[in-house]
């Protein structure tokens, strides 16, 4: 399918198309932003620190795309509302919404604090609700759009020492399920992607060198390949939508 065409997601001729990535980090989020920019979408990117987005914006621009960065706290309702209003007003209708905030911080349940548990839930679940709600209001009016939530192994399995992260990711998956059932009949494609495995990032390279060494065998996830699957989901015809997709290296145990 051509990069500039999305089956079932028609935009009026000459109208800008926006892909919003909440949590456009240096790996998965950045790769998703680049992929949609290559497909002709204006990439709107968020992190708490807008300055950290500049290298990604420069890369997208150098590749012939268009990107804008926003420094926001995705957990803040007022900031979420203002962000969506501004993007729709200044850059065009949001055709693709990607929620990609992680917040993985393992801890024994014996040592976990209420403050950190709540913060992880705010970042990985509550922020998804706030931002998705605002985008959904616009998409429903237009009767089109894709909303994709990044999940993890913890979305399906609460492993030892991951109580906070698993609780948040389980909650995000439930949010996506509810939204898919409500918004699908209104023309909105809601999908949840379970990313099951280590991703090619500086964090994995620095902290888990043995795991990172599996990269030579395609044993860890390539962010660009993850991004291709997000592009694929958005371009699915609406008579064959996927709600949940799981991505893992061929050698990953599950």
Domain ranges of the chain: 18-247
Tell me the average pLDDT of the chain: 93
pLDDT band at 15 (very low <50, low <70, confident <90, very high): low
Superfamily of segment(s) 18-247:
NAD(P)-binding Rossmann-like Domain (3.40.50.720)
Residue labelled with tokens 């390539």: 222
Cα torsion for 17, 23, 26, 28, to the nearest 10°?
-70
pLDDT above 70 as % of the chain = 94
pLDDT band at 34 (very low <50, low <70, confident <90, very high): very high
pLDDT band at 16 (very low <50, low <70, confident <90, very high): confident
Longest CA–CA span in the chain (Å) reads: 57
The pLDDT, as a whole number, for residue 14 is 52
Q: Mind listing the pLDDT tens digit for each residue in 190-212?
A: 999 999 999 999 888 988 899 99
The pLDDT, as a whole number, for residue 147 is 99
Q: Mind listing the pLDDT tens digit for each residue in 51-71?
A: 999 999 999 999 999 999 999
The residue among 3 and 164 whose pLDDT is bigger is: 164
Mean pLDDT of 19-43: 96
| Residue 58: strand pairing partners | none
pLDDT of residue 82 exceeding 50, the answer is yes
The C-alpha atoms of residue 3 and residue 16 are separated, in whole angstroms, by 15
pLDDT of residue 9 exceeding 50, the answer is no
Q: Mind listing the pLDDT tens digit for each residue in 162-177?
A: 999 999 999 999 999 9
pLDDT of residue 180 exceeding 80, the answer is yes
pTM: 0.93
């Amino acid at each position: 399918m051509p990069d500039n065409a999305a089956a079932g997601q028609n935009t009026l001729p000459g109208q800008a198309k926006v892909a919003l990535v909440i949590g456009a980090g240096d790996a998965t989020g950045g790769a998703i932003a680049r992929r949609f920019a290559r497909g002709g979408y204006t990439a709107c990117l968020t992190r708490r620190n807008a300055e950290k987005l500049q290298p990604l914006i420069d890369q997208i621009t150098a590749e012939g795309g268009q990107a804008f960065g926003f420094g926001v706290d995705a957990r803040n309702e007022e900031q979420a509302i203002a962000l969506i209003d501004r993007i729709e007003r200044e850059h065009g209708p949001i055709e693709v919404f990607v929620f990609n905030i992680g917040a993985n911080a393992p801890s024994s349940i014996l040592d976990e604090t209420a403050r950190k548990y709540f913060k992880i839930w705010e970042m990985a679940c509550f922020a998804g609700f706030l931002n998705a709600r605002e985008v959904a209001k616009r998409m429903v009016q237009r009767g089109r759009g894709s909303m994709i939530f990044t999940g993890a192994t913890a979305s399906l399995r609460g492993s030892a020492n991951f109580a906070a992260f698993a609780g948040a990711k389980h909650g995000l998956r439930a949010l996506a399920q509810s939204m898919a059932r409500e918004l699908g009949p209104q023309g909105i494609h809601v999908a949840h992607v379970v990313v099951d495995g280590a991703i090619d990032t500086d964090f994995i390279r620095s902290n888990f060198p043995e795991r990172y060494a599996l990269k030579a065998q395609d044993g860890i996830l390539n962010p660009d390949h993850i991004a291709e699957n997000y592009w694929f989901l958005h371009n699915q015809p609406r008579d064959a939508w996927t709600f949940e997709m799981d991505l893992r290296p061929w050698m990953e145990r599950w």
